[in-house]
Amino acid sequence: MTIGQAARAATSMVGPMLAAGQLNLAAAIRSRRLGCSAWTGAINTDYDPFDPATAAHPHRAYEALHRGGRVHYSPRRSTWVLHRLDDVRAALRDTDQVTSSHGVTPIRMVADLVVLTDDEQHTRLRKQVQPAFTKGALDSWRGITDDIAAELVDGMISARGGCDVVRRLTIPMPIRVIAAILGVPDGDVTDFRHWSDESTRLVNFTPTPKGVVNAARSMRAAVALRRYFLQHLAAGQLKGSDTVLGRLLAHSADGGLTDNQLFYIAILLLIAGNETTTNLLGGMFDTYARHPDQYEMIRNNPDLIPMAIEEHVRHTSPIQNLYRYTRAPYRVGDVTIPSGSRVLMSFGAANRDPLAFDEPNTFRADRNPRMHVGFGFGSHLCLGAPLARMEAHAVLRQLVDRVSRISAIGPTTWSTNSSLRGPTRLHVIFREAS
């Protein structure tokens, strides 16, 4: 890639950031003009998902929200908070009044991505990527997924004295699966993982000096990742019939997907299926290490595995918080949220709602919590959810067949990311089944 091409690539990434800056400036001016009247009727809360201690261990804060009303307002963050399961599901369903088109993070942003659109534009973009996540597509990648799970569990079993399951399994599992189904060569996976991890951190951007530095690092990684994809796509690579992008090209009505569109679809896969799956797997290991009776339950009855995975999604909530923005006054109970407001959809709190789930803080492998919002809900239900379920199933099948007990050594360290929560360190020992 020439210097000129690199500059154009960087410019194409910066454009959405400039548009986001204009949106956020206008919103800040509007919020200041509205003043205190904006949150009249809601209960003020000091809940702050950006507080590291709260982000790592949010469940007491969720209990406090549930003891209050249906709608809370954070003056510090100029954000409305929905935390009841029924209210979160209703807002996610009502895209006429509560939209993703201004972003799903605390910073407003616009882009031609399926996660950042609604209505006809969202339908068009979702149809473009849907063929990559059909049952047939997933079945074709099941063998790859099972092989990677077997290899990683092998390494865990053979580790004398145990090891960090996050470093050895929950991080490499999803990125290796994604790389494989994208057709990324094994020799490129290390760079691919680095660029992917750094670039997708833009989703959790915060307007602080540290946040700006991190955003610059993420932008550099995004440019490098884009350069990698466009170079390989231009050479006819990553488009094989057994790859995600190849399937999309084959199903495209007019073959009209450009290489740039294919790159953004790959980014969508990374956002939807990488760290979220790492968090799901990490929460799964933490649960079984702390609650051996639940692990014994699925070992004795492996048919419970699909149900247990849904309970893991509910209980762990790999995505704790996402945002929406109102484009009309939106009423929840006795409170009307003004048009143009930022609304925090607390998936983590909704999945621990005592009005929806009996003993919500308790993990029960046989619960079958079908109403959870761990993968979102409505038109924005996560496209990568079937892939995450398949990976979790592959790992659990290996475990119940080969491991009799999972034991933790020391406490679990949890991430302090306000949106994506999972273990960052969990030292475990596997006892091999006889």
Asked whether residue 156 is domain-assigned, the answer is: yes
- Where residue 356 sits, what CATH number does that domain have? 1.10.630.10
Across the range 419-433, mean pLDDT stands at 95
Domain membership flag for residue 136 = yes
Angle, helices 305-316 vs 292-300, to 10°: value is: 150
**Amino acid residing at 425:** R
| Residue 227: inside a domain | no
- 334: pLDDT strictly greater than 70: yes
- Sign of dihedral through CA atoms 267, 17, 90, 43? positive
Secondary structure letter of residue 242 according to DSSP? T
For residues 348 and 321, give the distance between their C-alpha atoms in angstroms, rounded to a whole number.
7
Beta strands 335-337 and 330-332, pairing class: antiparallel
Kindly state whether residue 255 falls inside one of the protein's structural domains: no
H or E, element range at 67: helix 59-67
- Within a domain: 242: no
Cα 405 to Cα 160, 400, 408: the distances in Å are 15, 9, 10
What is the band of 214 on the pLDDT scale with cuts at 50, 70, 90?
confident
SS3 410: coil
In-domain check, residue 181: no
Q: Are 170 and 275 in contact (CB under 8 A)?
A: no
**What is the number of structural domains in the chain?**
1
Range of the domain at 338: 35-173+269-432
56-65, 378-387, 399-408: range with lowest mean pLDDT? 378-387
pLDDT the model gives residue 40: 58
Spatial separation of the C-alpha atoms in residues 191 and 217, rounded to whole Å:
15
In single-letter form, the type of residue at position 313 comes to V
Beta carbons of 423 and 286 less than 8 angstroms apart = yes
Using CB atoms within 10 Å of the CB of residue 370, give its burial: 0 to 12 exposed, 13 to 18 middle, 19+ buried: exposed
- Residue 227 clears pLDDT 80, i.e. is over it: yes
Backbone angles phi, psi at 276, to 5 degrees: -60, -40
Query: How far, CA to CA in Å, does 420 sit from each of 16, 163, 272, 273, 390?
Result: 23, 23, 11, 12, 20
Q: What's the pLDDT score for residue 21? A: 47
Q: Could you tell me if residue 88 is inside a domain?
A: yes
Residue type, 410: G
> What pLDDT sits at residue 6?
43
The pLDDT of residue 258 is 86
| 3-state secondary structure (DSSP) of residue 320 | coil
Whether 2 shows a pLDDT value over 50: the answer reads no
pLDDT score of 203: 67
Range with the poorest average pLDDT among 58-62, 70-74, 217-221, 342-346: 217-221
Among 290, 287, 318, 316, smallest CA distance to 396 is for 287
Would residue 298 count as lying in a domain?
yes
Give pTM, 2 decimals: 0.89
Structural contact between residues 195 and 224, judged by C-beta atoms closer than 8 angstroms: yes
Question: Per-residue pLDDT averaged across 141-169, rounded?
Answer: 95
